[in-house]
């Protein structure tokens, strides 16, 4: 359907067509459920996958396909060997078109897409609207364990190091004032404005809120829009599932809507710098998950020079020597 030029985002209708074209158990198309929930939530992605998933989908545990971290941070970018092992186990080949979704709509799937794209697997997309959007458009579901698939061969890829920022790089960048240093990159913080300002607490007990010096608040939900699940779908399907999906779900805003959000946050001139490729951008959030939404939105706007601070705020604020700004 897309050849070698897979889009960053596919619709439920497009996924339905892709599945119709790939009815055989081939490696051409593999759908992944990458649902993830906050550690404070009672919901568990792997359990919900067993309760309901898109037909033939396999479960991608973002917390397991990750590198260990000295601060015990979760879902850090895996090393090439870990990524290859996960792809092999899931039956993914370098030629596979991987379509990723989550149970919120758009929440954790962009982080998984960022992982695939950063390892050069550009035949990858997210499903806009996720599982609720799939159901809202009349999609079928399956329950239970996935079918056993033969392991695939996946050659060791090269990680795009420019797209993954670490603590030392963020500290060095925080010493530069972007308004005076063209080499400084803009750090876009995807957390809520209250956490950015330091007026609201962090979900992790004992962790200070606030922000990295010179960073800019751009809450991830400003790139999203909320949709209600149609009443007939909610009453006849979702309410009868052995899992609790919310009555609303998120989808990506139009590119015009995301452009408006970007300009409202950065201002016209700084947004122009980003869009024209004159300034590198790094997205950050609480733990590196919802920064993926900002990364994806910027990619959809044509921005190439965008990465993610892998540790994000948790890794930064846990270190005693980190400079923390509260207020604007």
What phi and psi, each to the nearest 5 degrees, are found at residue 98? -100, 125
Residues with Cβ within 8 Å of residue 14, at least 6 apart in sequence: 1
Residues 16, 71: Cα–Cα separation, whole Å = 42
285 given a catalytic annotation:
yes
Residues with Cβ within 8 Å of residue 208, at least 6 apart in sequence: 198, 202, 317, 324
Residues 306, 100: Cα–Cα separation, whole Å = 20
SS3 142: strand
Residues with Cβ within 8 Å of residue 112, at least 6 apart in sequence: 32, 34, 60, 62, 100, 126, 292
Q: Which two tokens stand for residue 153?
A: 């061969």
Residues 277, 191: Cα–Cα separation, whole Å = 24
Residues with Cβ within 8 Å of residue 114, at least 6 apart in sequence: 163, 292, 295, 296, 308
Task: Answer whether 109's CB lies under 8 Å from 126's CB.
Answer: yes
Residues 61, 37: Cα–Cα separation, whole Å = 11
Active-site choice (18, 245, 285, 308): 285
- Report residue 270 CA to chain centroid gap: 24
What phi and psi, each to the nearest 5 degrees, are found at residue 92? -90, 130
* Catalytically active residues, by annotation: 285
């Amino acid at each position: 359907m897309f050849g070698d030029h897979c889009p960053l985002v596919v619709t439920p209708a497009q996924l339905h067509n892709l599945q119709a074209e790939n009815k055989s158990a081939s490696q051409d198309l593999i759908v992944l459920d990458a649902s993830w929930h906050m550690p404070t939530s009672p919901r568990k992605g792997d359990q919900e996958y067993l309760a309901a998933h898109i037909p033939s989908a396999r479960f991608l545990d973002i917390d397991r396909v990750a590198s260990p971290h000295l601060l015990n941070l979760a879902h850090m970018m895996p090393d090439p060997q870990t990524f290859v092992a996960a792809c092999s186990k899931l039956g993914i080949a370098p030629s596979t078109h991987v379509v990723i979704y989550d149970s919120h709509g758009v929440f954790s799937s962009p982080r998984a897409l960022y992982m695939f794209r950063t390892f050069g697997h550009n035949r990858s997309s997210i499903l806009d609207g996720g599982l609720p959007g799939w159901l809202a458009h009349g999609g079928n579901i399956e329950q239970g364990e996935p079918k056993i698939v033969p392991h695939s061969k996946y050659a060791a890829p090269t990680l795009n190091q420019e797209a993954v920022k670490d603590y030392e790089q963020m500290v060095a960048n925080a010493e530069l004032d972007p308004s005076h240093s063209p080499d400084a990159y803009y750090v876009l913080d995807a957390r809520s404005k209250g956490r950015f300002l330091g007026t609201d607490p962090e979900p992790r007990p004992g962790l200070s809120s606030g922000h990295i010096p010179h960073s800019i608040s751009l809450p991830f939900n400003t790139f999203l829009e909320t949709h209600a699940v149609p009443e007939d779908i909610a009453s006849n399907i979702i309410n009868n599932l052995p899992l609790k999906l919310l009555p609303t779900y998120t989808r990506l805003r139009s590119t015009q809507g995301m452009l408006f959000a970007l300009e409202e946050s950065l201002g016209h001139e700084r947004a122009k710098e980003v869009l024209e490729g004159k300034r590198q951008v790094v997205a950050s959030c609480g733990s590196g998950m919802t920064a993926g939404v900002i990364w994806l939105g910027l990619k959809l706007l044509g921005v190439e020079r965008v990465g993610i601070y892998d540790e994000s705020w948790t890794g930064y604020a846990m270190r005693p020597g980190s400079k923390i700004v509260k207020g604007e």
